[in-house]
């Protein structure tokens, strides 16, 4: 195992380089918790289109709706006409480039008129929520990545010779 430590580190660095996007997983609102917010920071790249993607479902009725806001701007509304039943999960992708700020951002999911009774408890779920990022962006600079890969390759080869 000692022989492979440089190879494992190199693979880890390559994996780190290939990761992209902001993943928020699962956001649920209901009659008891009608608003959820997610705060995140992003370094916007010039000339790139950012997309917010998610799967949504729930059990809302007429006169109920779910609003999605990004930095105070309404970006999407889900209502009874969107066929919001749990059996019908809908994939959505929204271009948020014009609403996304460089730095701190706030994504808000707000339920409107989610009022239930003892037999009916409305809720709504956004699942697999993520914002894509340019794949050319890396956590480390390109030059540093190349230098690191060269050094790791050299150390791995040197280790195999011994």
∠ CA 35-37-43, nearest 5°, is 160
Q: In total, how many domains does the chain have?
A: 2
Please report how many Cα atoms fall inside a 13 Å half-sphere around the Cα of residue 67, on the Cβ side.
Answer: 11
Reading the chain (162 residues) residue by residue, the pLDDT tens digits are 555 666 666 666 555 544 446 888 899 999 999 999 999 998 888 888 999 999 998 888 888 999 999 999 999 999 865 555 555 678 999 999 999 999 999 999 999 999 989 999 999 999 999 998 765 544 555 666 677 778 877 777 776 666
Residue 34's domain comprises 20-137
Q: What does the alpha-carbon distance between residue 27 and residue 129 come to, in Å, rounded to a whole number?
A: 8
pTM: 0.69
Q: Using DSSP, state whether 3 is helix, strand or coil.
A: helix
84 & 113 share domain: yes
In 46-102, where do the E strands start and end? 51-58, 65-70, 73-79, 90-95
The verdict on 129 and 161 lying in the same domain is no
């Amino acid at each position: 195992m000692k022989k492979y430590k440089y190879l494992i580190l190199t693979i880890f660095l390559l994996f780190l380089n290939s990761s992209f996007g902001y993943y928020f997983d699962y956001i649920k609102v209901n009659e008891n918790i009608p608003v959820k917010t997610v705060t995140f920071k992003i370094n916007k790249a010039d000339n790139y289109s950012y997309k917010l993607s998610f799967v949504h479902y729930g059990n809302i009725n007429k006169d109920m709706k779910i609003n999605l806001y990004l930095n105070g701007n309404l970006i999407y509304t889900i209502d009874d006409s969107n066929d919001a039943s749990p059996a019908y999960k809908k994939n959505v992708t929204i271009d948020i480039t014009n609403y996304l700020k460089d730095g701190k951002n706030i994504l808000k999911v707000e339920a409107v008129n989610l009022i239930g009774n003892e037999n009916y408890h409305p809720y709504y779920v956004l699942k697999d929520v993520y914002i894509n990022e340019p794949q050319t962006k890396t956590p480390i600079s390109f030059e540093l990545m190349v230098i690191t890969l060269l050094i790791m390759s050299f150390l791995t080869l040197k280790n195999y010779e011994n």
